[in-house]
Amino acid sequence: MGLEKYSRQILFEPIGQRGQERLLQSRVAIIGCGALGAVQAEALARAGVGFLRLADRDFVEESNLQRQIMFEERDARERLPKAIACQRRIRRINSDIGVEALAADVNPTNIEEIIGDVDLVLDGTDNFETRYLINDACVKHGKPWIYGAAVGSYGLSMTIIPHETPCFRCVLEQLPPPGSSPTCDTVGVILPIVFMIASIQVVEALKLLTGQRDQLHRSIIQIDVWNATYHRIKLGALLEKSDCPTCRHGRYEFLDARIRHLASGLCGRNAVYISQSKRVKIDLPSLAERLRSVGAVKLTEHLLSLHINGYEITLFADGHCIVKGTTDVDLARKLYAQYIGA
């Protein structure tokens, strides 16, 4: 494979030909490929990172298109899982690299496998719970990961190298109580901050993958793109001072599923998300047959949706599901138990 397509990146002295060759050998997992994850995926694919694993539990909807650059109107009409839509576009962007799509929930049963054979993990999620889970798995296996979050016009990022930098839990020890921090649900989000935060994550990724750890920013970067402010909080001696349950004491509470909510509200939607606590494989076509007498059923290659009494239940083959039409978690669980099974 020629390196010509990467010539301008090779000319960039900190990367060079050697850096480019390392990128082509690199493997990255992106957890969540909606807003931040899509920008990360596109940038790393164009940069020639050799393998991308894209994991996402959601499907494309029209309201995503304003900020999720991988998706088009057609994807929303087809209700494509985001991981699949992202994979298709990445293949059109750079056919030299490997790209794997996991239209699945990332949870304690599968995360160690998802990160097991990659060099780096990128956070493209929209919730604290999955970030703590990524942190547990990455600290346990000594994998670097790059946290990023964007809400409104504000965002932040931090790079975690287990036992070398503070981990996510060193900085934020407790899961914030629901409703305590602003979400895309309450204050919205604009695309420019998504680009900025994802760009910072991608630059850190390029440094890490080309073996330049000494170049990492080693801080929490905070940006408000509307107010044009930029802050860096140096992490300094936090690692030494921290009494972190995860990286100091090796307690992986999220990975061990001691702290886990199996159902939660979804960012920006009148919907509840339900995941499985064990591995299952649902035969969607035969379930679709069974549900046809119950309500309006739609079956695609990747998911099944059931419309009933004003609710819409969208189910993936790994058993995770999105119940639309309510934010009541108990009600959503009841609907799931009633129609899909416990």
Q: Which residues are catalytic?
A: 184
Q: Which are the contacts of 110, defined by CB distance < 8 A and separation ≥ 6? A: 104, 279
Instruction: Give whole-number Cα distances, 300 to 37, 58, 205, 315, 324, in Å.
Output: 24, 14, 35, 11, 18
**Interacting residues with Zn ion between 211 and 270 (CB under 5 A):** 244, 246-247
Shorter beta-carbon distance to Zn ion: residue 10 or 156: 156
Shorter beta-carbon distance to Zn ion: residue 99 or 138: 138
Shorter beta-carbon distance to Zn ion: residue 50 or 148: 148
Site residue total, Zn ion (CB under 5 A): 6
Say if CB 56 and CB 33 are below 8 A apart.
yes
**Interacting residues with Zn ion between 74 and 133 (CB under 5 A):** none
Shorter beta-carbon distance to Zn ion: residue 77 or 163: 163
* One-letter identity of residue 78: E
Shorter beta-carbon distance to Zn ion: residue 248 or 260: 248
Shorter beta-carbon distance to Zn ion: residue 238 or 284: 238
Least Å distance between CB 172 and Zn ion? 10
Least Å distance between CB 175 and Zn ion? 14
Is residue 285 within a helix (H) or strand (E), and if so which, with residue range? helix 284-291
Question: 151 has which bridge partners?
Answer: 154
* Of 30, 34, 35, 32, nearest in space to 194 by CA: 35
**Interacting residues with Zn ion between 267 and 326 (CB under 5 A):** none
Task: Out of 170, 200, 303, 306, name the contact with Zn ion by CB under 5 A.
Answer: 170
**Interacting residues with Zn ion between 184 and 213 (CB under 5 A):** none
Least Å distance between CB 160 and Zn ion? 8
* Of 109, 113, 137, nearest in space to 279 by CA: 109
Task: Out of 15, 52, 151, 167, name the contact with Zn ion by CB under 5 A.
Answer: 167
* Of 148, 43, 145, 42, nearest in space to 85 by CA: 42
Pairing of strands 296-299, 303-308: antiparallel
Distance CA 319, CA 63 (A): 24
Q: Which stretch binds Zn ion (CB under 5 A): 10-18, 168-176, 200-208, 211-219?
A: 168-176
Q: Which stretch binds Zn ion (CB under 5 A): 26-34, 56-64, 155-163, 166-174?
A: 166-174
Q: Which stretch binds Zn ion (CB under 5 A): 40-48, 145-153, 162-170, 208-216?
A: 162-170
Residue 39 binds to Zn ion (criterion: CB under 5 A): no
Distance CA 169, CA 114 (A): 21
Least Å distance between CB 249 and Zn ion? 9
Distance CA 59, CA 81 (A): 4
* Nearest-CB residue for Zn ion: 244
Distance of CA 259 to the CA centre of its chain: 19
* Of 125, 166, 123, nearest in space to 146 by CA: 123
Shorter beta-carbon distance to Zn ion: residue 122 or 167: 167
Least Å distance between CB 132 and Zn ion? 11
Least Å distance between CB 252 and Zn ion? 11
Q: Which residue has the tokens 């690299």?
A: 97
Least Å distance between CB 91 and Zn ion? 37
Question: 219 has which bridge partners?
Answer: 234
What is the sign of the dihedral through the CA atoms of 107, 110, 114 and 116? positive
**Which residues contribute to the site for Zn ion (CB under 5 A)?**
167, 169-170, 244, 246-247
